[in-house]
Each structure stands twice: as structure tokens, then as C-alpha cells.
Amino acid sequence: MLDLKFVRENPEIVKQNIRNKFQDHKLELVDEVIALDLEFRNSKQEADNLRFERNTISRQIGGLMSQGKKDQAMELRNKVTEQSDRLKALEEKEAELNKKITEIMMTIPNIMDPSVPLGKDDSENVELNRYGEPTVPDFEIPYHIDIMERLNGIDLDSARRVAGHGFYYLLGDIARLHSAVTAYARDFMIDRGFTYCIPPYMIRSEVVTGVMSFAEMDAMMYKIEDEDLYLIGTSEHSMIGKFIDQIIDEDTLPVTMTSYSPCFRKEKGAHGMEERGVYRIHQFEKQEMIVVCKPEDSMMWYDKLWQNAVDFFRTLDIPVRTLECCSGDLADLKVKSVDVEAWSPRQQKYFEVGSCSNLGDAQARRLRIRVNGEEGRYFAHTLNNTVVAPPRMLIAFLENNLNADGTVNIPKALQPYMGGKTIIK
């Protein structure tokens, strides 16, 4: 969420940012919120004047009563009553205006970094770099579910009977591989100086609206019936929420944390949910990384975060590339974002396995996460990135480590987490 003062003083910058995101339908919101803000400030000024005048009159009433001038005191009391009625009306108006202003400000996009490429949708995202040599073996690579089933590693039919589409049972060495990957990811990030955390798997609505847009919330979150609680769709929401209403000492920044959690997503709008696949599912597990830092450090941490993900996948012999999100594909809260995509030998193309985002002070402003600095208080910057989400990662892992005889190689980095095994068969 932008600073309202910035919008008031720089309406054309805000409007051009909206045009660059190809959201012209939001242009009128800028003028609307500025007009509402003016009305709010005028109402507040009138209310402040009334409070001052009422306090002055109240002191006069006390003086008149002590002098025995009850008639004059009663006249002033009647005036105070009239002012109280007007003040109540103004306070109700302020509350209503403030609600409207907040609702609009929550939908105006954050100002993108100037380096973000312009483009209407994800088809215009820009490839940055490739890491590792993408190869296609001289034997046919089966669909990832077929690989898992041949290794007795997955049961979709039972999961469908128990929970419906978008769920799975992982079994045997595939289940063990899943757990090994998350354990290795945990240690990988700890070795890079991040504090390990297991967060709450449910968050309140105030946190939900603080970390994501209304559209994202509607498409992703499962709500707990009759409770002000939502199942997390990704653990960075719970992790950033940890700092809600906190004033952080500048000397303690940056805060760098890595978290493990299950994640739950409605996947609303995911047309044709795969019946035999684990690319889009309602429940999965993930290792995440988040940073809370000073504004001047956020771009440095942005580069470190996506590089961590690249390095992680390369230790597992999986070729990856980085793809920068263009303006039209950038979520409204984000300043800049890059996807990490893994190579699929079967499809002979890359597919998304993680996303790194710099959100500037948007989440901190919504959640009131402030920093106590030498020159006063300011809003922190927040960033997040996926270390690994095993269901999608398993697809890349199995395809890139598959042998012609159907066995799967286990990279050296993962072998200690698989009991010393070098191969799955």
C-alpha cells in the first residue's frame, strides 16, 4: 500500500505506474482517493476546532458556576451539547471516509522499480540467465506420475476417494525423497545464515489483508468456518505477520528467516485441475525464506534471495533459469519479482518452481511494521522467496535424474538425507 501523502503529492507518477501495469480501469481511483482525503482532512480539522472550542467553553462554565452565574452557564452548556452532536456526526463521517480511503488505497498498485520490463502478461516476461546445461536424454521420459507409480511412490486414486482432486498419498522412497528435500533445504538455508522457524499454519484476516491483495486472497485462501482464521497458502504470510504492530530496533536488521510449513490453496481459476499430476494441488509443503530489512538494503537482499534458490537447485543437478516478471504480470504489492524455473526434459521447456519478490514497504505499511532508526521511525522493507516446494520440485528432480532403466539417481548433497542411498529403484 502506498503512502497517501505520496499519492496526494504525486498523482501523475501513481497514474503512470497504473498505466505501465495495464490497469487503466484503476486510474479514476487516484482522483477519487485524493478527493476523499481532502474531505477527510477538512472534516477532521472542523472536529479538532470543535474539540478545542468545547474545552474552552467547559472551562468558562466552571468559572461562571463558581461565580453563581447559573443562567449564563446553562446557555454555554446548551452550546456544548450542540457541539457534541455535531462532533459525533463528524466522527462518524471520518470513520466512513477513512474506510473508503483504505479500501481504495489497498487496490492502487505499489510503485514498481524502474528496471521492471513493460509487458501485458506473463508471455512477455524476460529471461535473465540460465544455470546448468538443459539436456534431453536419448530415451523417452514418462509423465512424472508414471515415474512415481512405477516406483510405488504415489497413490492418487485413494487420495481422490478421501479428499477429491488435487491431493495425493506419497509412499516409500518417493515420500522419503519429499522429506529429504525439505530437510536438506532447511539445512541449506541455515548454513547461509538464516534462522529456522516453524510458523503458525493459520493466520487472522488482518494479517491476510496485510500481506496480499483482495484478489489473491479470494483466489487462494481457505477460511475456517465461524473463525477469524485462514489456512496459510504460503508460509511467508505467517512469517511476515510475525512482525505486525512491531517497532524493530534498526540495529537488529536485517531479520533473515527460513520457514517450513504445509500450504493450502484453493487454486481458484486453475482451469482443469490435473487429475494425474502434482503441479497444481490443494495441499503441499514448502521451505521459504523471508527478509525484513532497511529500505536501502532491499535490492541487495533481493539478489541474494533468488541466487539462494538457484544455488539450491544446482546442488541437485537440476538446470534452472531466472525469468523477470514484466509489469503486467507483477502482483500489485510487488516492487520487483523474478521466477526461478526448472528444466523439464520431458516437455523440453522450463517451468516455475519458485518466485522471489521485493515488496518494498507495502506489507510493512499495511501491517504497521516500523523501524526505530537514528533519524526517526520508518517502515521496513520485506522480501520473500521459495527455497523449494517439493511437489513441483519432485517433477524436475525425477525427470532430470531419471535413468533409462527407470531408476533415479540421488545427488550427493541429498544422499545423507536418504540414508546413504545413491539410487531409487
Number of Cβ within 10 Å of residue 397's Cβ equals 27
Which of 226, 228, 255 lies closest to 242, judged by CA?
A: 255
Catalytic residue among 186, 344, 392, 399: 392
- H-helix or E-strand containing 256? strand 255-264
- For residue 205, give the nearest of 239, 242, 231 by alpha carbon: 231
- Which of these, 340, 271, 283, lies nearest to 310 by C-alpha position? 340
The secondary structure of 319-331 as a DSSP string is -EEEEEPPGGGS-
Catalytic status, residue 54: no
In whole angstroms, give the CA distance from residue 393 to residue 413: 15
Which position among 94, 250, 267, 352 bears the catalytic label? 352
Count of all residues that appear for the chain in the document: 425
User: Measured between alpha carbons, how far is 212 from 407 in angstroms, rounded to an integer?
Assistant: 42
Contacts of 249 (CB under 8 A, 6+ apart): 371, 372
Residue 77 is among the residues annotated as catalytic for this protein? no
392 is a catalytic site residue: yes
CA–CA dist 295, 360 (Å, integer) = 7
Q: Which of 54, 130, 280, 314 is catalytic?
A: 280
Instruction: From residue 279, give the alpha-carbon distance in Å to each of 200, 316, 392.
Output: 25, 19, 5
327, 355, 370, 399: which one is catalytic? 355
Spot the catalytic one: 186, 235, 265, 370: 265
Catalytic residues: 265, 280, 352, 355, 392
